[in-house]
Structure 1
Amino acid sequence: MSVELPPAIAAYFRADRDEPAAVARCFTPEGVVKDEGRLHRGPEAIAAWKRQASAAYEYTSEPISVEPDGERLIVTAHVVGNFPGSPVTLRYGFTLEGAHIALLEIAP
């Protein structure tokens, strides 16, 4: 990664290249992902969200910047894959709780 990320966020981007359960382990037990207008709450729902995304598309995401936004950290990433509109730049809004992610909001 070309930017220095907090450990929980770096773990998320590493896990994103791995299996759905690895992504889910990056979150608190009550963790939430908000993506494409949908909420995915808890480890099972987060793993299912990742499983669906991985089944539909192959992609890589490379963080290019990180900046604070109140209680959140916004990571901008360049995402390339076999999905419509690729490549895109996405904003990942992370709210951390200890060593885990409590909330992740993904937006263009």
Structure 2
Amino acid sequence: MRAAPPGFMLSRVTMDPVVRAAIDAANKNDLAAFLACFTEDGVVDDWGREFRGAQRITEWSDNEFIGKKVSLDVTEVDERDGETVVTAQVGGDGFHGPSHFSFRVEGDKVARMTIRA
């Protein structure tokens, strides 16, 4: 587990490059770049609600993520059971608060991103 020091920068934390790309795309509010991080049948699981494929992920993101100008202030990165787990303080115009984002990567793409408290 790697905890980030106060005032840390994401660039100082080591994580899977595709996970970093997804986090960076979200923080830039760049939907196209975010979608490009996923496999063709990639899934976002947002508290048990699953969104599979680019169209469904886009609909979810427009309403709850990038469309809400999300910001993810990463505080911790861990590897658990073959997944990268990112703890972040979420900001923007939607949900605010801490969340855990688990990323399952297949090859060089995210196959599944699961969001939990």
Q: Is the 8 A contact 1:61 1:77 kept in 2?
A: yes
Alpha-carbon separation, structure 1, partners of 2:41 and 2:93: 31
Task: State the 4+ residue runs in structure 1 displaced beyond 4 angstroms.
Answer: none
> Is residue 2:94 matched to residue 1:79?
no
In structure 2, the residue matched to 1:92 is 101
Q: How many residues align?
A: 105
Q: Which amino acid aligns with 2:19?
A: I
TM-score (norm 2): 0.79
Distance change (3 Å), C-alpha of 1:30 and 1:83: closer
Q: Which amino acid aligns with 2:101?
A: Y
TM-score (norm 1): 0.85
Could you list the per-position Cα deviations for residues 43-87 of structure 1 after superposition, in whole angstroms to 9, with x for gaps in the alignment? 1111221112244x3331111211111121111111123335x3x
Q: Is the 8 A contact 2:23 2:72 kept in 1?
A: yes
Could you list the per-position Cα deviations for residues 21-49 of structure 1 after superposition, in whole angstroms to 9, with x for gaps in the alignment? 22111101111000032101011111221
1:89 is displaced (CA, Å) by 1.1
SS at match of 2:22: helix
Q: Which amino acid aligns with 1:104?
A: M
Alpha-carbon separation, structure 1, partners of 2:85 and 2:32: 23
Alignment RMSD: 1.6
Q: Is the 8 A contact 1:20 1:48 kept in 2?
A: no
> Is residue 2:67 matched to residue 1:61?
no
